[in-house]
């Protein structure tokens, strides 16, 4: 099996630093048991825990097992963006991946395709890997066209090489566990959209699936994609370790 990406998006969780440490300790336990694990595991904590997670990784064997991600990035490095966190700051914390265009930001905070496009360029400029989320709000007539437009706008002006440096996560909003009535996409639905992404961006584009991924369905999604973006299930080390175990 090719190397897969298992990405944990903690969103605004957990509540305390102690809980964050506990999750990491739990995940560390997996690597003691499965030392030969050969996939990429990326943890994206909220910014307030990033420095601590970075330190824990530096001071333990976890540093060689997982990589650090961020959930967002500022639109510039000019230091006058109150409340934001710059690419420079992320670089200093050894962050290697940054999520861009998560649907939480697109739909709840009105982040446009143009902003996401700009953020991808900034992430690349800082030598980090953009994890770019793409996905429709609802599965309704014509959603494929919406998806194609979103992809075209989001990646506008990026070269083939730059797109190859990205990971694309197909995350339909209706499948994300926090959406009322959410259910994971069927494999057919997910594959249909993964194919649309590859048609638009190139057949070698690395595409992940996200939306209600858990230990019960990870095997199937890992079978049709380059990896999974895991939200809720990544906050429970036992469940997350099961997903890692499936990917091994």
Footprint on this chain of ligand PGA (rule: CB under 6 A): 9, 171, 176-177, 210-213, 229-233
CB of 181 to ligand PGA, least distance (A): 13
**In terms of CB distance, is 120 or 233 closer to ligand PGA?**
233
Q: Which CB, 24 or 44, lies closer to ligand PGA?
A: 44
Q: Which residue's beta carbon is nearest to the bound ligand PGA?
A: 231
CB of 230 to ligand PGA, least distance (A): 5
| Structure tokens belonging to residue 149 | 């437009």
Q: Across-strand partners of 95? A: 68
Which listed residue (67, 102, 111, 200) is catalytic? Answer: 102
Whether residue 102 lies in the annotated active site: yes
- Give the integer Cα–Cα distance in Å for 243 and 248: 9
Q: Rank residues 56 and 176 by Cβ distance to ligand PGA and give the closer one.
A: 176
Catalytic-role residue among 67, 136, 171, 200:
171
Contact 30, 64 (CB under 8 A): no
Cβ at position 9, least distance to ligand PGA in Å: 4
131 DSSP β-pair partners:
99, 167
Taking the least distance from each CB to ligand PGA, the nearer of 87 and 101 is 101
Nearest to 39 by CA among 73, 4, 64: 4
Look-up: residue for tokens 């990033």?
A: 50
Nearest distance, CB of residue 80 and ligand PGA, angstroms: 30
Active site members: 102, 171
């Amino acid at each position: 099996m090719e190397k897969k990406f298992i990405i944990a998006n903690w969103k605004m969780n957990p509540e305390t630093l102690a809980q964050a440490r506990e999750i990491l300790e739990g995940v560390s336990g997996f690597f003691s048991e499965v030392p030969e694990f050969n996939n990429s595991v990326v943890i994206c904590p909220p910014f307030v825990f990033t420095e601590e997670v970075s330190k824990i990784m530096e001071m333990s064997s976890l540093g060689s097992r997982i990589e650090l991600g961020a959930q967002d990035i500022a639109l510039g490095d000019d230091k006058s963006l109150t409340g934001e966190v710059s690419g420079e700051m992320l670089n200093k914390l050894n962050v290697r991946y940054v999520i861009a265009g998560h649907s939480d930001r697109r739909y709840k905070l009105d982040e446009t395709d143009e902003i996401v496009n700009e953020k991808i360029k900034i992430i690349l400029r800082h030598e980090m890997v953009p994890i770019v989320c793409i996905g429709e709000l609802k599965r309704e007539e014509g959603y494929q066209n919406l998806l194609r437009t979103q992809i075209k706008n989001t990646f506008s002006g990026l070269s083939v090489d730059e797109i190859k440096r990205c990971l694309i996560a197909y995350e339909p909003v209706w499948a994300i566990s926090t959406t009322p009535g959410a259910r994971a996409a069927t494999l057919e639905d997910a594959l249909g959209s993964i194919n649309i992404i590859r048609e638009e961006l190139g057949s070698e584009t690395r595409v992940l699936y996200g939306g209600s991924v858990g230990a019960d369905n990870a095997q199937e999604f890992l079978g049709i994609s380059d990896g999974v973006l895991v939200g809720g299930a990544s906050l429970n080390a036992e469940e997350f370790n099961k997903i890692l175990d499936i990917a091994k």
